[in-house]
Amino acid sequence: MSSKDRAAHSPITPEQSDSLSLGRIEIGDEVIAEIAARAAAKVEGVFVVGSSFRLSEILSGKESSRKGVSVRTDETTGHVDVDVDINVAYGTVIYDAAHKLQLLIKEEVEALTGSLFVDKVNVRIKRVVVQEEEEPSPVSPDKAFPEERR
C-alpha cells in the first residue's frame, strides 16, 4: 500500500482549510500510530506487540514499528480511536500500566498533532513476558572476600 492509498486525516474541515488559504494539513494514520507506539515505550513494563523501533525499518518504510497499533479517525470531526496490543513484563500491575498507557497516548497524540481529539484508547493485553534472570558471574574464591589490609 503506497502512502497515497493510506488514510490521511485533516484536523480541520476542508472549508476551514480553504478559508486559511494556506492549503490543507493532513495527518496520516501511520503518524498517529507511530506516536502511540512511542508513547507506549515510555510506560515501564509495557511493550507494543511487534514493536522494534529499528531505525533501518523506519527509514525503509517497513511498518514493524507500528504493528500492534491501529487507528480509526473520523475525517469530518478529527476524533480518533486508537487500539493497541501490548505485552507486559511479569510483575507489572497490569491495570495501572494499561491505564497510564491510555492517558499517555491520548495526551501525546492530541499534543503532537495539535488538533485531533482522542476519544478512546483500547488496550489489549496479549501476553505476560517473563524476563530470564541473568546468570550470576562466577567469582573466584580469592576474590570472594576482600583481602584484609595489613
Domain boundaries, given as residue ranges, for the chain: 8-130
The DSSP letter of residue 66 is G
- Distance (Å, rounded) from C-alpha 64 to C-alpha 138? 39
Q: Note the CATH architecture for domain 8-130.
A: 2-Layer Sandwich (3.30)
Residue 100 pLDDT > 70 = yes
Give the tens place of pLDDT for each residue, 2-49. 445 555 666 666 566 555 667 888 889 999 999 999 999 999 999 988
Question: Global pTM?
Answer: 0.66
Name which of 41-45, 64-68, 133-137 the model is least confident about: 133-137
Please report, rounded to a whole number, the percentage of residues in the chain having pLDDT higher than 70: 63
Scanning the structure block, which residue is given the C-alpha cell 480511536? 81
